[in-house]
Amino acid sequence: MRNAFKQDVDAIAGVLIEVFGLRFKKEVEHLSDPLERWFDFACRFVPPLPRQVIFSDQFPKQLPSDAKRGLKHFLRRVCRGEDINPYQGRGLKLRHDTSGADRTARTDFLYASWNVLHFHLSNQPIPRERYFSKPADWLAFCVVTNEQLGLIDVVRHPAIKGFSDPAIFEALARNWPDYVEPHRMKGVLPGRAPTQDEIHEMRMRGGNPAYVHNGHAYIGPGGGYSAAGTPMKTAKIMMHLTRALDWLAEYVWDSSSPYQQHERLLDVTAPRFALRLYPEGLGLFEEKTSTFFAHPRQDAPSMGSVRWLSDMLLPPWALSEVLRQKHRFNSLFFLANPKAS
């Protein structure tokens, strides 16, 4: 049953990849899990929510007029809760691919290292047929939560090595010490701080350097990346999801579980369960009796539950798109009124 559940979530992730237009070439067999590609995107996607903007000590800052206009336009969108993902750049969907042959283009190393996103400061209208803004001469480096956006710095678009500039991490650590404190390497005497060139070279080779600030050594707040160039954050999510599927399969298969003890299943030999979509996320469907078990949203679902799996796979912004394009999910969607009866 665990394999069946994994096939179900793989199928859902595969359609999500298509719906959101993500590059997924499957050029490396052992890196071609659709869930890994989906979670790399989902972790970097910024949910459209109103946010308070917190400025670092890099501001106020003298900027040319085009950068000022772009920054004003960007911050207005942030405060209003409008979608800012089109300003992240094409790596979000089109250039990065966890399954690609080029290990240096499987994820955003800036985000995987420091949990920092960059946004193009363009105030030009985005044509209806395009998703991304025009590339801009100026970028905003930001750390983002659901409530706040920390504006670390605004810089002229650097060459690729500039995304490894230790000044980005130093500004993050200096302005938000509580944010980086959990990543401080306690009991470790820091050596020499790595240079921009050294950080870039280690990223290209799959190494995770320690970062030095104010006499302390830190691991990257983004969690780092594997030797294959895929984000460790995604690997941890995949590990938790695998354990959750194991637990769920064992629980559902137990003859004393509420699922198998439901009145419509008492006389069923070897019931066949599947994970299916419905308007609130994931639910459990028994195929022989066409019985559907809905799992409404909760504030704190227990790890491994169907609701927990649903929240992991389908955050609200993704579920909204699923409902808008549910015709593309076909047999993965339970279309009847979701009640176990």
pLDDT value at position 95? 97
pLDDT value at position 341? 40
3-class state of residue 292 by DSSP: strand
pTM: predicted TM-score of the whole model, two decimal places? 0.94
**One-letter amino acid identity for 250?**
E
Residue of 182, 158, 163, 167 lying closest to 212 (CA atoms): 167
pLDDT value at position 334? 86
pLDDT value at position 302? 84
3-class state of residue 80 by DSSP: helix
- Tell me if 263 sits within 8 A of 294, measured CB to CB: no
DSSP letter at 333 equals B
Taken in order 149, 150, 151, 152, is the CA torsion positive or negative? Answer: negative
Q: How many angstroms separate the CA atoms of 26 and 99, rounded?
A: 5
- Tell me if 239 sits within 8 A of 233, measured CB to CB: no
For residue 227 the two structure tokens come to 């030797």
What phi and psi, each to the nearest 5 degrees, are found at residue 196? -55, -45
Segments making up each domain of the chain, as ranges: 46-227, 254-332
Give the bridge partners for 278, in sequence order.
Answer: 281
The tens-digit pLDDT sequence of the chain (341 residues) is 889 999 999 999 999 999 999 999 999 999 999 999 999 999 999 999 999 999 999 999 999 999 999 999 999 999 999 999 999 999 999 999 999 999 999 999 999 999 999 999 999 999 999 999 999 999 999 999 999 999 999 999 999 999 999 999 999 999 999 999 999 999 988 889 999 999 999 999 989 999 999 999 999 999 999 999 999 999 999 999 999 999 999 999 998 999 989 988 888 888 999 999 999 999 999 999 999 999 887 777 787 789 999 999 999 999 999 999 988 998 899 865 544 44
pLDDT value at position 335? 65
Q: Report the Cα 318 to chain-centroid distance in Å.
A: 11
Q: How many angstroms separate the CA atoms of 36 and 51, rounded?
A: 28
